[in-house]
Structure 1
């Protein structure tokens, strides 16, 4: 058994970065170390733990079974060490830390801009790294401690993960405003007569939309399918196509060329949530960041942004 007196605890910080990044150069960048220094630390870790930890696989480095086993207890142990050695509470003005977030471009549209402004104002040395994945992938990454916070329409709270509902959203329709000058909207007959743009990132929601259309006795003709929420509204400009999507993603773009209106049928809405590792509940830095998220999505934050933009 290894004696703690003979272990450089900085190696555990390097291991944390390697398990999260699965890439030596990115881990070095995250730690602000040279690539040879990280490679040397990995060699020491392999000897210390008697396991290769990261091995070559398709597309790059992959974790060994032992590395997967270490990820969760390592994250929990380092979180406790940081609390133990850090100042009382979290000092955002002087803290230096990178938080890893995961969200689709819907979250990047409706949450990230205000969150980033809020964080940069209070903590100029706090950095945010944003990735994207399926709901299942993001949930697994949070549970494993690879991601600090993830955002999405999570329908359940798996073991090892905490959940907070940020807001509820519903669905609206959008068309080129020039095509509905008289009414500003479409009834269900005109809606079904037009072609549609579908966002595949919202597969579950798309099923709900089509189920509602089916109840009307109709079927949408999908003319274009895209993976991103943010590009979809621009695709219908200059056409007679319809986009049915989350209302907040349309409102975030604030494009006067679009006519936004209620769907001519009822579509169930959804709750947009934030999830984080249960083992990080006691992490004061992550607690601070979660509070900033809640501040960024509060209604008064939206009003404040509108006032500053007008000013």
Structure 2
């Protein structure tokens, strides 16, 4: 490598952003540069490091092995430099784009209070929301496609950090008029015999609920698989279907009953996950704080309908 004095250290700023965004236009927006300027910087970096760094594959920019080796130490070094040069941290009045990944459940709980908060305090902030399966979220955080994912996660790779924001409980939604009569309440036998609605982004992938149910060594009969939480309650009306979801997904729906599951199920930890290489990033620390504040406010103020015993 060339002598340090001959290197334009601004190129490292561009490289750090490129490895995080993996997209020329998003990097340009993040750094307030033109796309040609970012492309030119990437060309210089490739020459300097004698490596293509990012290769376009199927419409995406995929990092090379050399780039992956550089990503974490570079992000940590840039974070320390920013902490020295900008001790006050992230400026919420700046223009900045955050890429988040949430389910319908997380979006419904978090986005309304978060957007109200950001429009009052940081109107220059833009959020880009995507939805993926649980494993897709983890992979997107590892690959740097997104800044943060929020959801329910079990096993995580060592380079991912978890912040548990709150816990929820499972609840069952059903139409009493559609159940086998006489209906006197949801029993364990009826739960296992009933047809169920399964909410899963990818129908064949096991959900957290599926993993929890395996302890009972029984299988539910799944009559319908849906990718969206929001539409699921609508298909319950007038049927014998049962929907088991996180309690905070459910509103008081006329004619339907919300009841506690008749079998033992664990609490649901709702978490925010991010990559360890972003630990020293003031922008990420600021975002985590805003998410925590808004989730706390949403959870505390939520007007939850009491569950039927």
Tell me, which stretches of 5 or more residues in structure 2 are unaligned?
Answer: 304-309
Instruction: Tell me if structure 2 keeps the 8 A contact 1:101–1:129.
Output: yes
The question of 1:297 aligning with 2:295 is answered: yes
Instruction: Tell me if structure 2 keeps the 8 A contact 1:198–1:243.
Output: yes
Partner of 1:187: 187
Equivalent position SS for 1:295: helix
Alpha-carbon distance change, 221 to 137 in structure 1, aligned in 2, over 3 angstroms: closer
Equivalent position SS for 2:46: helix
> Could you tell me how far apart the structure 2 residues matched to 1:49 and 1:238 are?
65
Instruction: Tell me if structure 2 keeps the 8 A contact 1:11–1:45.
Output: yes
Instruction: Tell me if structure 2 keeps the 8 A contact 1:197–1:223.
Output: yes
Equivalent position SS for 1:11: helix
The question of 1:41 aligning with 2:41 is answered: yes
Tell me, which stretches of 5 or more residues in structure 1 are unaligned?
Answer: 307-311
RMSD: 3.2
Instruction: Tell me if structure 1 keeps the 8 A contact 2:246–2:268.
Output: no
Equivalent position SS for 2:207: helix
With normalisation by structure 1, the TM-score equals: 0.79
> Could you tell me how far apart the structure 2 residues matched to 1:182 and 1:86 are?
68
> Could you tell me how far apart the structure 1 residues matched to 2:194 and 2:9 are?
63
Partner of 2:198: 198
Partner of 2:94: 95
Partner of 2:307: none
> Could you tell me how far apart the structure 1 residues matched to 2:159 and 2:148 are?
13
Alpha-carbon distance change, 88 to 161 in structure 1, aligned in 2, over 3 angstroms: same
Partner of 1:264: 262
With normalisation by structure 2, the TM-score equals: 0.79
> Could you tell me how far apart the structure 1 residues matched to 2:54 and 2:269 are?
37
Partner of 2:306: none
Alpha-carbon distance change, 213 to 231 in structure 1, aligned in 2, over 3 angstroms: farther
> Could you tell me how far apart the structure 2 residues matched to 1:183 and 1:113 are?
38
Q: How many residues align?
A: 298
Instruction: Tell me if structure 2 keeps the 8 A contact 1:186–1:264.
Output: yes
Partner of 1:126: 125
Instruction: Tell me if structure 1 keeps the 8 A contact 2:226–2:232.
Output: yes
The question of 1:234 aligning with 2:238 is answered: no
Alpha-carbon distance change, 82 to 259 in structure 1, aligned in 2, over 3 angstroms: same
Match of 2:276 among 278, 299, 307: 278
